[in-house]
Amino acid sequence: MFPFGLTHVLAEELFPVISFHSDETFEADSEGGASIFYPNPMVVDDLDESFGANCLPASGDFFPLGTTTVYCLATDSEGNSASSTSFNIIVVDTKAPTLILNGDSSIDITGGDTYTELGATAADIVDGEITARISITGSVDTLKAGSYTLIYDVSDLSGNSSQTTRIVNVSDAFAPVIELIGDNPQIITRKQAYVELGATATDDVDGEISMDEIEKKRFS
């Protein structure tokens, strides 16, 4: 039989102790956050075998994006309670959204035709459908032959971004139309000096062009 004073000292030393649990970081895997499974910290007790602490929010609960503090408590079979402990569950979003072009990534059109922007769609694991956040830079001049690059960008609310491009090739497939000025044929009298009336030329891509330009294209 212990003296009363010794019994009192032993009772103070028998409180269970919750082991340390460091903060943990997880990647979000659904809209708003993730269901997180973590190991409950163990409880060391002089009377009982080691057991897991009771923690809230519990392992397996849904944790929102950001930092959530988990609080843990424990009581042994004698009713002795451990000092509460806590640790943080940090849910982050580091994955870029998915960005998909509507239509082909390379489009060929004939000069003078109308280019119709097909756009793109974007989705994010955390933010969901974010097509409205897509920005497009670049332009297509269908009246000038060449290759044009359109750049599509989108960022989620965490700042993760994706980018893709579309190439639009404008071709000059038709020769310019030449119209003579004056009658054809021209009728003049013998020994009358012939005066060249010239001609006009228009092109689907280049618009009105000079005869000098036509000659340059012929011999280039």
Give pLDDT tens digits for 149-188: 999 999 999 999 999 999 999 998 767 788 888 778 878 8
The predicted-structure confidence for 179-208, as pLDDT tens digits, reads as follows 888 778 878 888 888 888 888 887 766 678
Mean pLDDT across the chain? 88
The residue-averaged pLDDT of 91-97 equals 97
Q: Report which of 217, 191, 158, 150 is spatially closest to residue 31, judged by C-alpha positions.
A: 158
pTM: 0.67
Q: Tell me the CATH number for domain 98-171.
A: 2.60.40.10
* CA 77 to chain CA centroid, nearest Å: 53
CATH topology of 4-92 equal to that of 98-171?
yes
Domain 4-92: top CATH class: mainly beta
- Report domain extents, the chain: 4-92, 98-171, 177-219
Q: What is the pLDDT of residue 218?
A: 52
User: What integer pLDDT is reported at residue 12 of this predicted model?
Assistant: 46
Tell me what pLDDT residue 88 has.
98
Strands (E), the chain: 17-18, 24-27, 33-35, 42-44, 51-52, 54-56, 62-64, 66-73, 85-92, 98-101, 106-110, 120-124, 128-129, 135-137, 146-155, 161-171, 177-180, 199-203, 207-209
- Report how far Cα 9 is from the mean position of its chain's Cα atoms: 62
